[in-house]
Amino acid sequence: MSKLAHRVESISPFHVMAILDKAKMLQASGEDVIHLEVGEPDFVTDSSVANAGIEAIQKHHTGYTSATGLPELKKTLSAYYKKQYQVDVSPERIIVTSGASGALLLLSSLLVNSDDNVLMPDPCYPCNRHFLIQVGAQAKLVETHSSQQFAIDLEQLSEYWDDKTSGLWLASPSNPTGAVLDQAYLETAFSKVSRLGGHLMVDEIYQGLVYEGEDMTALSISDDIFVINSFSKKFAMTGWRLGWAVVPEWAIEGATKLAQNLFISAPTVSQYAAVRALEDDVLVGCESRRQVLDKRRQFLLKELDRLGLPVVAPAQGAFYVFVDVSGITGNAMQWCLGLLDEYKVALTPGDDFGFHNSHKYVRFAYTCNEARLEEALKRIEQYMKRKDA
Ligand SMILES: Cc1ncc(COP(=O)(O)O)c(C=O)c1O
């Protein structure tokens, strides 16, 4: 009898899958479900970017590219860093991957030995810990607090660090909280991690979706910081499966070897489309979408305040708001399931993102238009009233 590898046991499914399955069932039976659980806005890829992909197919650009990416895309990304963030990043340091997910797998393989651990805040993006399991390592989730915006207290960093710690992984803006880490925090993190002999990785997948605070890149602090990014969110290209990692000079050779062996190359058609995505007129479209998201965010924050639902982290970026529901329920997951069942609004429970006090929180994703958001909040209000009764 064939057996699955032990690591499969250690990988937990998303709790939100239970919500999604239920939402699908309800929808199939004709119910009007409002989705505030998905980490993907309702925008579609810019048509000129889509056309660049179609043109690439028509021109028969359907073979592999070089393992670290199409040279033209790497050059364009390098110019993008210079223009948007005034940072010099040579094209050679850019490794194009299949989404930020591919970059996470690449960096786990590149930087983390089996049996090592990597520090990251609790809560954070849940797949991080699963990529580490893939390489025989593990995430060491560090308890954080709403009073510190769910960021790791860097004063305590050396206490969390042990002789098996390989590095620190952060994300800014954060999923699930939407909080943005500032330059000073990242500088301190980098200097402390360097002193401890580890690596710093910053996930910048929500870069460019910042409404308050500074939209920056950790690459402005040091060439020795590892950064991952993606075309998924800002560019509304989730299904094109394209992202990238930026690595220091000394890591290029190792990253190239791994990219060759793990992936051969990232999707070619998507890479041609992505070159177009970085042109000025498309970036203007990205900015308009950011403004639309900001309007939704402000509306949501105002409404949550009216409903007396505390927002526990500054919702400065991405498209998430992290809310404390412990005033009305002892179990956010059950509360979410009840809300979906009775009022057909889907949210993501905090349990998906960590363990510390996770039963208290839910994540709202403002990924649908304002009219739908308004309707969702009306339904939540009714649910809360009914629960109070
Ligand atoms: C923080 C974070 N990192 C990485 C990813 C992976 O994104 P992708 O593989 O679509 O680029 C996501 C997706 O939601 C995310 O939220």
* Ligand 1 in reach of 109 Cβ (< 6 A): no
For residue 356, with 0-12 CB atoms within 10 Å meaning exposed, 13-18 middle and 19 or more buried, which class applies?
middle
The confidence score (pLDDT) of residue 13 equals 80
Same-domain pairing of 252 and 306: no
- Asked if the peptide bond before residue 173 counts as cis, ω within 30 degrees of 0, the response is yes
Same-domain pairing of 274 and 318: no
- What's the domain count of the chain? 2
Spatial distance between the Cα atoms of 327 and 360, rounded to a whole number of angstroms: 9
The confidence score (pLDDT) of residue 117 equals 98
**What separation in Å is there between the alpha carbon of 196 and the centre of ligand 1?**
28
Same-domain pairing of 372 and 252: no
**Tokens 């969110």, residue located:** 233
Same-domain pairing of 243 and 294: no
Residue with the nearest Cα to atom 14 of ligand 1?
39
Average pLDDT over residues 76-92: 98
DSSP string, 82-121: HHHH-----GGGEEEESHHHHHHHHHHHHH--TT-EEEEE
**What separation in Å is there between the alpha carbon of 306 and the centre of ligand 1?**
31
**What separation in Å is there between the alpha carbon of 205 and the centre of ligand 1?**
6
Same-domain pairing of 274 and 340: no
Same-domain pairing of 179 and 121: yes
* Ligand 1 in reach of 126 Cβ (< 6 A): no
* Ligand 1 in reach of 99 Cβ (< 6 A): yes
pLDDT of 388 higher than 80:
no
Spatial distance between the Cα atoms of 91 and 71, rounded to a whole number of angstroms: 8
Same-domain pairing of 329 and 201: no
Residue 98 CA, closest ligand 1 atom number: 9
Structure tokens at 93: 């340091």
Which of the listed residues 107, 205, 207, 352 should we mutate to test ligand 1's pocket, taking the one with most ligand atoms within 8 A of CB? 205
Answer whether 142's CB lies under 8 Å from 370's CB.
Answer: no
Spatial distance between the Cα atoms of 265 and 28, rounded to a whole number of angstroms: 38
* Ligand 1 in reach of 171 Cβ (< 6 A): yes
* Ligand 1 in reach of 267 Cβ (< 6 A): no
* Ligand 1 in reach of 122 Cβ (< 6 A): no
Q: Look at residue 145 and tell me if it is in a domain.
A: yes
Same-domain pairing of 130 and 99: yes
Same-domain pairing of 208 and 332: no
Which range marks the domain in which residue 374 is found?
Answer: 6-44+282-383
**What separation in Å is there between the alpha carbon of 358 and the centre of ligand 1?**
20
Per-residue pLDDT tens over the stretch 277-326 = 999 999 999 999 999 999 999 999 999 999 999 999 999 999 999 999 99
pLDDT of 14 higher than 80:
no
Per-residue pLDDT tens over the stretch 341-378 = 999 999 999 999 999 999 999 999 999 999 999 999 99
Average pLDDT over residues 81-90: 98
The confidence score (pLDDT) of residue 295 equals 98
CATH of the domain at 241: 3.40.640.10
Residue with the nearest Cα to atom 4 of ligand 1?
100
User: What does the mean pLDDT of the chain come to?
Assistant: 96
* Ligand 1 in reach of 177 Cβ (< 6 A): no
**What separation in Å is there between the alpha carbon of 340 and the centre of ligand 1?**
25
Strand partners, 138: 117
CATH of the domain at 38: 3.90.1150.10
Residue 230 CA, closest ligand 1 atom number: 11
Q: Look at residue 132 and tell me if it is in a domain.
A: yes
The confidence score (pLDDT) of residue 306 equals 97
Spatial distance between the Cα atoms of 372 and 367, rounded to a whole number of angstroms: 10
Which of the listed residues 38, 40, 95, 101 should we mutate to test ligand 1's pocket, taking the one with most ligand atoms within 8 A of CB? 101
**What separation in Å is there between the alpha carbon of 30 and the centre of ligand 1?**
31
Q: Look at residue 172 and tell me if it is in a domain.
A: yes
Spatial distance between the Cα atoms of 58 and 55, rounded to a whole number of angstroms: 5
* Ligand 1 in reach of 100 Cβ (< 6 A): yes
pLDDT of 60 higher than 70:
yes
Per-residue pLDDT tens over the stretch 211-260 = 999 999 999 999 999 999 999 999 999 999 999 999 999 999 999 999 99
Q: Look at residue 143 and tell me if it is in a domain.
A: yes
Same-domain pairing of 162 and 186: yes
Residue 389's pLDDT band, with cuts at 50, 70 and 90, is very low
Residue ending a domain, among 278, 294, 315, is 278
Residue ending a domain, among 242, 257, 278, is 278
Residue ending a domain, among 250, 278, 306, is 278
Helix, strand, or coil (residue 258): helix
**What separation in Å is there between the alpha carbon of 243 and the centre of ligand 1?**
9
Q: Look at residue 366 and tell me if it is in a domain.
A: yes
Q: Look at residue 379 and tell me if it is in a domain.
A: yes
Residue 17's pLDDT band, with cuts at 50, 70 and 90, is confident
Residue with the nearest Cα to atom 7 of ligand 1?
100
Q: Look at residue 388 and tell me if it is in a domain.
A: no
Q: Look at residue 1 and tell me if it is in a domain.
A: no
What phi and psi, each to the nearest 5 degrees, are found at residue 320? -125, 150
The confidence score (pLDDT) of residue 314 equals 95
Spatial distance between the Cα atoms of 48 and 51, rounded to a whole number of angstroms: 5
Same-domain pairing of 114 and 241: yes
Same-domain pairing of 207 and 305: no
